[in-house]
Structure 1
Amino acid sequence: MKNLYLIRHCAADGQHSDSPLTNEGIRQAYLLSAFFTEQNMNIDKIISSPYLRAIESIKPYAEQNNIEVNVDDRLTERILSEDPIDDWIDVLEHSFTDLDFNLPGGESSNDAVKRATSVIENIHSDDNATNVILVSHGNLIALLLNQYEPSFGFEAWKNLRNPDVYLINIDDSKHSIECLWGG
């Protein structure tokens, strides 16, 4: 059995890869640390997007528990396009219904899922990883959750919070999803 804790990063000051957490985001990171500590989850491994806001979101917990944060490029946020998009919400919604849709320089939903699920496949083959935290970004997390719960789509993405925590419990061919974060 594997327990995957998907964390959407805390509130950040922008969308660039080096955007830091806001003051509120820093407070949220400490709340996340307290949450995981209170739950006594015995985390084996932490894997994070290389984006600063993702790493900073789990850093207080990792430092408190002396757990290394493994950075994995496969958990970066999905790029919709290399060019600015005026109607990006409409484009994003379309990408949830047409999973192969992509704009020039962008990544389709299927392509993003493929790279992110390869992280999960690595966890499956790691006998020393039972309780794993994955820290990433809203769009990628929504696409991953959709793999386990097909009704988790665009509308569910819109309801994700910063931060948010979802548990995917995988036991052989069975799985369950649960939102753990109450804010």
Structure 2
Amino acid sequence: MITNLYFVRHAHSTYTPNELERPLSERGKEDARWITELLKEEGIDHVISSPYKRAIQTVEGIARFLGLPIELMEDYKERVLSEQPVENFSEAIEMVWDNYSYAFEGGESNYLAQKRGVEVVYHTLERFEGKNVAIGTHGNIMVLIMNYFDAKYDYNFWRELGMPDIYKLSFKGKDLIDVERISNQKIIC
């Protein structure tokens, strides 16, 4: 039995220091409508999201269209890079990808964040076996999860992600058997 997890990287957000409440920007809201149109074609059975507002807002259109609730799962939240803002975000991300064991003070190493992400994926696969599940999430945790199953999904892959973006990961049991990018063509809403 095949289970399809549609990892939806959130759309563009308006920066606020409050990670949990950071909303989508106007461009992000427009792109979330595009995400809804793409997911309408995928036979989605369940909608899950990180508790972060920008992730929820990115998948709420498909949930509304299908009349489904959005189940919040804490472990789909973005990796915690540091307890304090870092001086240079790009350099900081590159550092943690270069050394999977390295963590800034109060932050998660790649290993720790990846472990959290893979555990929630296994939990999702067990609960929704044979179903199509849309998951509102974040770029770094999404790629760390993908990297666990295939090392080609790395820092360079993360840098090329769109915002938003959708990757369909197909599993047979707990084995990843296929990855397909769903959002490779922009639809005009």
**Which AA in structure 2 matches 1:100?**
S
Aligned-partner Cα distance in 1 for 2:5–2:58: 17
> Conserved in 2, the CA contact under 8 Å of 1:148 and 1:177?
no
**Cα pair distance change 1:72/1:171, threshold 3 Å:** same
Unaligned runs of 5+ in 2: none
* 1:135 counterpart letter in structure 2: G
Structure 2 distance, partners of 1:171, 1:127, is 12
- Structure 1 residues 129 and 170: alpha-carbon distance in aligned structure 2, compared to 1, 3 A threshold: closer
2:22 and 2:6 map into 1 onto residues whose CA distance is: 23
Partner of 1:178: 180
Residue type at the aligned position of 1:33: T
Cα RMSD, aligned residues only: 1.5
Partner of 1:133: 134
- Cα distance, 1:119 vs. partner? 1.5
| 4+ long deviations beyond 3 Å | none
> Are the counterparts in 2 of residues 149 and 177 from structure 1 also a CA contact under 8 Å?
no
Deviations 1:7-38 (A, max 9, x none): 0001110152211111111111111111111x
State the partner residue of 2:39.
Answer: 36
Matched residue type, 2:34:
L
Q: TM (normalized to structure 2)?
A: 0.90
Q: In structure 2, give the amino acid aligned to 1:60.
A: G
Q: Give the aligned partner of residue 83 of structure 1.
A: 84
After superposition, residues 147-166 of structure 1 pair within 5 angstroms as 147-166=148-167
- TM-score (ref. length: structure 1): 0.92
Name structure 1 gaps, 5 residues minimum.
none
Matched to 2:27, the amino acid is E
Of 14, 24, 29, the residue aligned with 1:26 is 29
* Structure 1 residue matching 2:171: 3-state secondary structure: strand
Q: Does 1:119 align with 2:120?
A: yes
For residue 144 of structure 1, give the secondary structure of its aligned residue in structure 2.
Answer: helix
CA contact (8 A) 1:123 1:129 kept: no
The answer to whether the aligner puts 1:92 opposite 2:93 as a matched pair is: yes
Aligned partners of 2:176 and 2:13: how far apart in 1?
A: 35
Alpha-carbon distance change, 175 to 161 in structure 1, aligned in 2, over 3 angstroms: same
Q: How many aligned positions are there?
A: 181
Question: CA 1:26/1:143 → structure 2, altered by over 3 Å: closer, same or farther?
Answer: same
